[in-house]
């Protein structure tokens, strides 16, 4: 009888432990080329190369599948970098055999700063779709090649698997939500200071300025001079003076189109452990068009 | 093979002038040179649409009187259209000058067999290619999303010709068709199968599966053309039977005025032509909701949307779809 009770108790403990382990993070949000090389044969690993098919065809990390950036972020109306419809996103994820428990490493270009956000936006989109273990390859394909690591020209034909992950809808917010959150959430503008201060704007943004009350945490602070990500301590040192130490505080990050801000989303939510970070993906492109949406200066 | 094999000149000369004496700048303009090694390809290629540019010539010729056809051939076709179409090297070594601008060599001076982002996009990079990759501001085509490049649908015979002379690409039998891969009746979902059955012969695949606006060019030549992203869905001018995606071909009444061509039969041909647009998606607002076409008639070509002072033939492309509300 005692043995029976022990087995039941053990089963109950395991029942609680398994989901906890399932949702735990097994890989870091910014993984190194060295780590990836060591894990190339890991059966859980799916390497997603988001460069153009012609770039992928010219050479890629062995085993990497190619799903071009434009499959993950689309134009909706006038807004750039929006999420595809859930069923379309499921199709994309299924087509390369990603499962909720997969370890996904997103590989993009790194030399030009604007290209770096392709990877973070795709990583964020996978998190939105319910994949827990997603990383961006630190330094991207450029660093992999510079380090003379193995490359392949053989196109990988992925094995399709029906994707049944649970979407994390709460990590993306719209304009109405952001308007309602102005008084309670910390709104974080990740653009360069001159954009935050209203001295500059991109052509497709209606007017200069920032969301009223926003603080500035420039995306450039994520990087070392060589284009790799700073380590956790370096990123924490940049973030804490701006967003504080309260890990439960609601934070809404934004930029111009909802792409660049995903870099800080990954860093805050996945690296530093802030538990309530959201992306406003309409960002300045949508906000500044609305005369009723409060802005500064 | 050394440089002089193709480019001539004098490899033994010791000064620049003598070395360049008799040099041939674009040796592959002479197909016989390439044909020394690639005989069947070069022979076919000489008759292909890429080489003859016959499609451009015959596409517009219907607007001309006999005398104007002659003037067009002499003053426009040979001096303008023909200049970028297309020696072997124009596709495999260096971009031709399109609108006077060449983007240079593909990969040093290598003969590149295929690299569609360059070998095709150098010329088809204005409309088709950026639509396909989503870089024109829409959504990436589902085939590009799956890593498919031009040559996976467009076969070598389309590029190099099959030995027949054609007047238009519409005569070419090897052109890709959606149904070559997507066999009717093979749909996984019943709703898709029924939709395809109901629309077969009435609407082209792309009229429902085009994911969004594609490039339309306005006002060709006299004042400089302008481009806008729009969708036009209307009657296919070639079949008159089915609806399809139309593209504005920007020949306006005075396009060839400088060459002294009035286009006496301008109104015989429309300004909008059927276009197999390259921004295909499995699901679009049309596949998701029948009312998009059957009630809202979204993006249909209407009389109000026709270009001002366009061809009278344009009116025949306006499709009066009967309202059939079938919300789902």
State the complex-level ipTM: 0.83
pLDDT of residue A188: 98
Contact between A46 and A139 (Cβ < 8 Å) = no
pLDDT of residue B78: 82
**Sheet with B232-235, edge to edge strand ranges:** B232-235, B243-248, B272-274
Distance from the Cα of A67 to chain B's closest Cα (Å) equals: 6
Per the CB < 8 Å rule, is A70 touching B134? yes
* Chain A hits for B283, Cβ within 8 Å: 85, 87-88
* Chain A hits for B279, Cβ within 8 Å: none
**Which of A54, A66, A87 has its CB closest to that of B283?**
A87
Contact between B267 and B283 (Cβ < 8 Å) = no
**Which of A57, A66, A91 has its CB closest to that of B282?**
A91
pLDDT of residue A18: 38
Averaged pLDDT, A165-178: 98
Could you list the mean pLDDT of each consecutive 10-residue stretch along chain B, which spans 328 residues? 89 90 90 93 93 90 95 87 79 80 84 88 87 86 93 92 93 91 92 94 96 86 76 94 92 89 96 95 94 93 94 94 64
pLDDT of residue A24: 57
Pick the residue of A50, A51, A54 with the most B CBs within 10 A to test the interface with B by mutation.
A54
**Which of A54, A71, A91 has its CB closest to that of B140?**
A71
Averaged pLDDT, A105-109: 98
Q: For residue B7, how far is the Cα from the chain centroid?
A: 31
Structure tokens at B219: 């006002």
pLDDT of A48 > 70? The answer is yes
H or E element: which one contains A118? Answer: helix A113-128
| 3-state class (DSSP) for residue A37 | helix
Q: Please work out, in degrees rounded to the nearest 5, the angle formed at the alpha carbon of residue B60 by the alpha carbons of B56 and B62.
A: 135
pLDDT of residue B217: 86
Judged by a CB distance cut-off of 8 A, whether residue A66 touches chain B is yes
Cα distance between residue B255 and residue B56, in whole Å: 14
Tens-place pLDDT, residues A256-292: 999 999 999 999 999 999 999 999 999 999 999 999 9
Q: Is A19 left (phi over 0), alpha (psi -120 to 50) or beta?
A: alpha
Pick the residue of B129, B145, B283, B287 with the most A CBs within 10 A to test the interface with A by mutation.
B145
Report CA-CA distances (Å) from B289 to A297, B191, B211, B278, B292.
Answer: 43, 12, 13, 21, 6
Least confident interval from A75-89, A155-169, B1-15, B141-155? B1-15
* Chain A hits for B140, Cβ within 8 Å: 68, 70-71, 74
Other Cβ atoms less than 10 A from the Cβ of A101: the count is: 13
Interface contacts (A, B; CB < 8 Å): 47
Chain B positions touching chain A (beta carbons under 8 Å): 115-117, 133-135, 137-140, 144-149, 212, 281-283
Averaged pLDDT, A98-118: 96
Per the CB < 8 Å rule, is A68 touching B140? yes
Q: For residue B295, which phi and psi values (nearest 5 degrees)?
A: -115, -55
Contact between A101 and A44 (Cβ < 8 Å) = yes
Pick the residue of B131, B134, B140, B151 with the most A CBs within 10 A to test the interface with A by mutation.
B140
| Residue whose structure tokens are 């033994």 | B12
Contact between B80 and B51 (Cβ < 8 Å) = no
* Chain A hits for B145, Cβ within 8 Å: 67-68, 70-71, 92
Judged by a CB distance cut-off of 8 A, whether residue A59 touches chain B is no
Nearest CA in chain B to A158: B146
pLDDT of A11 > 50? The answer is no
Tens-place pLDDT, residues A195-226: 999 999 999 999 999 999 999 999 999 999 99
Structure tokens at A132: 């827990």
* Chain B hits for A71, Cβ within 8 Å: 140, 145
Q: pLDDT grade, residue A192 (50/70/90)?
A: very high
pLDDT of residue B325: 59
Cα distance between residue B253 and residue A129, in whole Å: 53
**Sheet with A133-137, edge to edge strand ranges:** A30-31, A133-137, A103-107, A45-49, A65-66
Q: For residue B47, how far is the Cα from the chain centroid?
A: 18
Per the CB < 8 Å rule, is A56 touching B133? no
Nearest CA in chain A to B283: A88
Distance from the Cα of A42 to chain B's closest Cα (Å) equals: 24
Which one-letter DSSP state was computed for residue B25? S
pLDDT of residue B183: 94
* Chain B hits for A54, Cβ within 8 Å: 115-117, 149
Per the CB < 8 Å rule, is B139 touching A70? yes
| Surface-to-core class of residue A33, CB atoms within 10 Å of its CB (0-12 exposed, 13-18 middle, 19+ buried) | buried
Other Cβ atoms less than 10 A from the Cβ of B257: the count is: 13
Contact between A243 and A277 (Cβ < 8 Å) = no
Contact between B231 and B210 (Cβ < 8 Å) = yes
**Which of B135, B146, B149 has its CB closest to that of A54?**
B149
Question: Buried (b) or exposed (e) across B154-182, using 16+ Cβ within 10 A?
Answer: eeebbbbbeeeebeeeeebeeeeeeeeee
**Sign of dihedral through CA atoms A52, A53, A56, A58?**
negative
Q: Is B24 left (phi over 0), alpha (psi -120 to 50) or beta?
A: beta
Cβ-proximal residues to A12 (8 Å cutoff; 6+ apart), any chain: none
Helical residues (DSSP H) of chain B, grouped into ranges: 3-7, 16-19, 31-35, 39-45, 49-52, 54-61, 66-71, 88-92, 116-119, 121-124, 128-133, 142-145, 156-160, 178-181, 190-199, 205-209, 285-288, 291-294
| DSSP string computed for B105-167 | BSBTB---S--HHHHTHHHHTTTHHHHHHTTTSSPPPHHHHTT--GGGTS-HHHHH--S---S
pLDDT of residue A22: 38
Q: pLDDT grade, residue A23 (50/70/90)?
A: very low
pLDDT of A14 > 70? The answer is no
Of B83, B107, B60, which is closest to residue B265 (Cα–Cα)?
B60
pLDDT of A20 > 80? The answer is no
pLDDT of residue A6: 53
Which residues face B121 on adjacent strands? none
């Amino acid at each position: 009888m005692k043995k029976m009770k022990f087995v039941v108790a053990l089963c109950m403990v395991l029942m609680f432990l398994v989901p906890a382990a399932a949702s735990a993070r097994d890989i870091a949000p910014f993984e190194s080329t060295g780590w990836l090389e060591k894990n190339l044969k890991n059966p859980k690993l799916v390497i997603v190369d988001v460069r153009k098919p012609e770039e992928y065809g010219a050479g890629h990390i062995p085993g990497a599948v190619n799903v071009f950036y434009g499959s993950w972020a689309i134009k909706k109306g006038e807004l750039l970098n929006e999420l595809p419809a859930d069923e379309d996103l499921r199709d994309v994820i299924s087509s390369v055999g990603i499962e909720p428990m997969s370890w996904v490493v997103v590989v993009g270009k790194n030399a030009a700063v604007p290209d770096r956000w392709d990877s973070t936006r795709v990583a964020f989109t996978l998190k939105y779709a319910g994949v827990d273990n997603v990383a961006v390859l630190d330094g991207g394909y450029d660093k992999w090649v510079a380090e003379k690591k193995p490359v392949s020209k053989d196109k990988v034909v992925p094995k399709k698997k029906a994707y049944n992950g649970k979407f994390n809808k709460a990590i993306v917010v719209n304009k109405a939500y952001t308007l309602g959150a102005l008084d309670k959430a910390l709104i974080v503008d990740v653009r360069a200071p001159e954009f935050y201060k209203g001295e500059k704007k991109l052509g497709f943004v209606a007017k200069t300025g920032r969301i009223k009350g926003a603080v500035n945490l420039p995306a450039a602070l994520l990087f070392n001079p060589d284009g790799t990500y700073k380590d956790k301590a370096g990123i924490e040192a940049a973030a804490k003076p701006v967003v504080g130490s309260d890990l439960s505080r609601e934070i809404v990050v934004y930029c111009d189109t909802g792409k660049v801000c995903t870099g800080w989303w990954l860093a805050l939510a996945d690296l530093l452990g802030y538990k309530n970070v959201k992306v406003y993906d309409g960002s300045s492109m949508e906000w500044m068009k609305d005369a009723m949406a409060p802005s500064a200066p | 093979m050394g440089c002089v094999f193709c480019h001539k000149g004098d490899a033994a000369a010791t000064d620049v002038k003598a070395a360049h004496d008799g040099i041939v700048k674009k040796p592959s303009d002479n197909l016989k040179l390439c044909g020394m090694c690639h005989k069947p390809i070069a022979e076919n290629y000489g008759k292909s649409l890429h080489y003859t540019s016959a499609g451009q010539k015959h596409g517009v010729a219907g607007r001309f009187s006999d005398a104007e056809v002659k003037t067009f051939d002499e003053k426009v076709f040979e001096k303008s259209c023909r200049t970028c179409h297309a020696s072997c090297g124009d596709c495999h070594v260096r971009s031709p000058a399109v609108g006077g601008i060449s983007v240079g060599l593909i990969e040093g001076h290598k003969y590149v067999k295929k690299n569609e982002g360059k070998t095709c996009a150098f010329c088809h990079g204005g409309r088709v290619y950026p639509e396909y990759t989503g870089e024109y501001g829409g959504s990436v085509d589902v085939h590009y999303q799956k890593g498919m490049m031009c040559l996976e649908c467009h076969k070598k015979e389309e590029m190099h010709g099959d030995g027949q002379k054609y007047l238009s690409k519409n005569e070419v039998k090897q052109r890709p068709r959606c149904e070559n891969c997507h066999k009717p009746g093979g749909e996984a979902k019943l709703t898709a199968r029924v939709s395809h059955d109901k629309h077969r012969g009435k609407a082209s695949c792309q009229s429902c599966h085009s994911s969004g606006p594609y490039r339309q060019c306005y006002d060709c030549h006299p004042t400089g053309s302008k481009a806008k992203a729009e969708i036009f869905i209307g009657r296919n001018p070639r079949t008159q039977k089915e609806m399809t995606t139309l593209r504005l071909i920007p020949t306006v009444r005075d396009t060839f005025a400088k060459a002294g061509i009035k286009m006496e039969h301008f109104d015989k041909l429309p300004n909008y032509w059927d276009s197999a647009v390259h921004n295909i998606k499995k699901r679009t607002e049309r596949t998701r909701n029948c009312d998009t076409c059957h009630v809202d008639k979204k993006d249909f070509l209407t009389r109000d949307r026709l270009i001002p002072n366009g061809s009278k033939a344009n009116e025949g492309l306006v499709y009066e779809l009967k309202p059939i509300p079938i919300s789902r």
